[in-house]
Structure 1
Amino acid sequence: MSLLRQTIEADIWGGRRTHAWLIKFLALLFLRRGQRSCIAWLRLAQFFKRRGHIRLARWCVATIERRFGCYFHINAEVGPGINLPHPIGIVVGEGVKIGAGCKLYQHVTLGGRRLGDWRAGNYPQLGDHVVVFCGAAILGSVRVGDGATIGANAVVLDSVPSCQVAVGVPARVVERPGPLAEARITRCTPAPSEPRYDAAARDTTDTGLGSH
């Protein structure tokens, strides 16, 4: 439960310790709308999945689909601090891995490039603090580096280096690391003494939800 609290506080309250967090969490689930409610349901689904309660996890995912029109597969890895400014029409496939502090706008798709990719695990991986604007699709076994930005309606079929901007169909890099991108990465990257989000490590150590 402490891992669930840490992740929710990172997602909703920017990592600040919050009194009566469980009551506020339940209010987000049942009394609120918008991105915070969507994220709360996502975290509850992942919590149940990691505890082995698959039916409850699927019920949470179905609730997200019904209330927000978004789909997050229960096996997708979503790092702490996720930001969904407009949680409508977002699709995150089974093998997708999303780092810490990422931002996904409406109608973003993260999934396989071809039919049957789910068998081979060919899904995108997003680093930390990646921004994906509305309507973009990131498909196949590609890596989007830390601090990268994907433009609206782009179709990403190849990896994007850290701190760069990719736009178009198919997407291509149009901006080398600039001061704004570098500032964002410098500001958001943990200090060397702080743990980073590591999906592989988390799978072997978590009993609840993911942490940094």
Structure 2
Amino acid sequence: MDVRVNLHLEGTGSCSNNPLMCPVGNIGIVLKQRCQKVNRSPSNGQQFILRDYTRSVNRFPVIQIPANALTSPMYLFRELVTLNLDHMLCVFLHQHLAQGAFYLSSGGLTGFHLSADVEVVEIEVVEDEIERSERKEASRFVVEMLSRKQRRVLDLDFNKLVKAGDNCAVCLEELIAKEEIKGQTTEKRTQLITMPCHHIFHASCISRWLEEQNSCPMCRRQIQYEDLVG
């Protein structure tokens, strides 16, 4: 969320009766809420705006600042809370508006009107769909090549390579799945993939992992072309 505040002094006057009871000024707030949908490329970080629109514009009742409120820093904050604004936005506005009001009143200006144009921009970042699709296809290719290359090794030495209690580092579930049939627990063999570094994972898990990273989740060794064809 991006918040922008522009303050405008629209006029000054004087209060002639009881200065402690008359307002030294008032504050008007106009809140514009905008939404931006931004496309960002994961490879180079470049981004551009896909959509930018104004969701709502709210003009709130004027907040009067009495002279005796200048000694109470929380007066303005309490008034902002009554507008049902987001808490963090109240804190942000209070910092800007309190400083402006105090500066004007301490300079001897009374009867001023401080206008605050507030713009809140909610930013939604979406990943480039084409690049995501390409990474997904690349991940499937890598897993298929590793599967072909290591399938014979797993078939011959499965009991040596995979032991009961060994977990997949991606999903943290056991590599050897178990199922109960008629009161008896049996092992259910799922497709496993041995990485070039000899760490073993569920094929579906490592496929999702490789869509984001070209390395082993455990040792971070990157996959090379020779690992697939050598």
TM-score (norm 1): 0.18
Instruction: Return the structure number with greater relative CO, CA threshold 8 A, min gap 6.
Output: 2
Q: TM-score, normalised by structure 2?
A: 0.17
Larger Rg: 2
Name whichever structure is richer in strand by fraction.
2
